[in-house]
Amino acid sequence: MRRQTIFAALAVMFILITAVYATAAEVRSITSSELVLMMSGKEPIVIVDVREPELYMMGHIKGAINIPYDTAHKRILKELSPMDTIVFVCHGGPMGDELGAILAKNGYPRVFNLRGGMNKWTGPLATGRQAP
């Protein structure tokens, strides 16, 4: 148990350290396990689910906000802060990569994409509308 705790702590530190030293033009792909570790860390993260509202309501990562892909191009630079650590989540990964690249090219230093999107998410799901 102690070994697992140490491993988890080291993994979180590694993710956060790489986030600090990443170049502005880079979106890093993370696994479901890495996202779970980030969520358990002390640094707040903004999880952006870019799937359709209907799919979001049927099941999303707890705490995720919904900015549907169809409207995301017009919204992400206005609604997301470069001060935040941002993780994109879509169906299978490509839409998150595309949107993350837009943020990275505009100077957002900590942008991630969930590899495989919700198809690969192994954590718990929340349901319903996002909180206002």
Span 11-39, pLDDT tens digits: 545 555 555 444 445 899 999 999 999 99
36 in a domain, yes or no? yes
Tell me how far apart the alpha carbons of residues 69 and 111 are, in angstroms, rounded to a whole number: 16
Domain for residue 128, yes or no? no
Query: The domain containing residue 95 runs over which residues?
Result: 2-120
Q: What is the mean pLDDT of the chain?
A: 87
Question: Residue 57 domain-assigned?
Answer: yes
pLDDT at 46: 98
CATH of the domain at 102: 3.40.250.10
Report if residue 130 sits inside a domain: no
0.95 exceeded by the pTM? no
Phi/psi of residue 45, nearest 5 degrees: -130, 155
Q: Is residue 33 part of a domain?
A: yes
Structural domains counted in the chain = 1
Average of per-residue pLDDT across 106-125: 95
Task: Decide which of 118 and 129 is more confident.
Answer: 118
DSSP class of 42 = S
Distance between CA atoms of 11 and 90, rounded to whole angstroms? Answer: 24
